[in-house]
Amino acid sequence: AEAAEAAEAAGGFSYVAFAKAYPFLNNIIIATLKTSAADLVAQCAIERKSFGEIDWQRNLVFCLFGAAYLGAFQYWYQVNIFKRLFPSIEKFTSQPWSAKLTDVPGLISLAQQIAIDLTVLIGVYLPVFYVFKAGVFSGVVDPAQWVRDGTGSYLRNWTKDVSDLVMVWFPADLVCFSVPLFLRLPVRHIVSFVWTAYLSFVRGKK
């Protein structure tokens, strides 16, 4: 907060100062914009829709999901919780790649982080996405119905979704959890943009 205030006092806005002062809020903003943009790419570039044909209700699903899950929840567990579970991650990620390959405790920690992340993606990320989608498209204000419909979609699509998710996120996690900590979420956001565009294309429609 002090860095952001100092930038303002100096006569201008500094994004770097803002990101350092408010990392949680910054991540929510990035995640929301990213998921919205990824859906628009899927609709306009992949599905070839004109601007007037864009499904803004579908885009709202990704905005809300991006803010709540990818912005808030992902920051909380990947930054706060992982630091507590794996206190040596900063040492491992700051090493050159040659040293990482011979750091057995660090490699074990890497494997554990990947296992936890894939478990969360399969057991939390996917069902939460379908519940958000059900909430926007259902037309009723009934959270219990959203959960029932979302859970039903999650279970119906489980085999294909999990196969695709592991194929993308296992190699991505190898990189995300190996790079220096300050690059972890930026790298993840890049992969997530591509994944979200794909998810929008195959699962975003009503």
- What pLDDT score was predicted for residue 200? 87
Residue 205 has pLDDT above 80, yes or no: no
Can you give the pTM of this predicted structure? 0.79
Highest mean pLDDT among 34-43, 132-141, 174-183: 34-43
Measure Cα distances from 133 to 137, 147, 149, 199 in Å: 6, 10, 9, 12
**Which string of DSSP letters, residue by residue, matches the chain?**
-HHHHHHHHTTS--HHHHHHH-HHHHHHHHHHHHHHHHHHHIIIIIS---GGG--HHHHHHHHHHIIIIIIIIHHIIIIIIHHHH-TTHHHHHTS-HHHHTT-HHHHHHHHHHHHHHHHHIIIIIHHHHHHHHHHHHS-S--HHHHHHHHHHHHHHTHHHHHHHHHHHHHHHHHHHTTS-HHHHHHHHHHHHHHHHHHHHHHH---
CA 58 – CA 104 distance, rounded (Å): 45
What would the mean pLDDT of 46-75 be, rounded to a whole number?
90
What would the mean pLDDT of 9-19 be, rounded to a whole number?
71
Tokens of 190: 């890049």
| Digit-coded pLDDT (tens) for 63-90 | 998 898 888 988 888 878 888 898 888 8
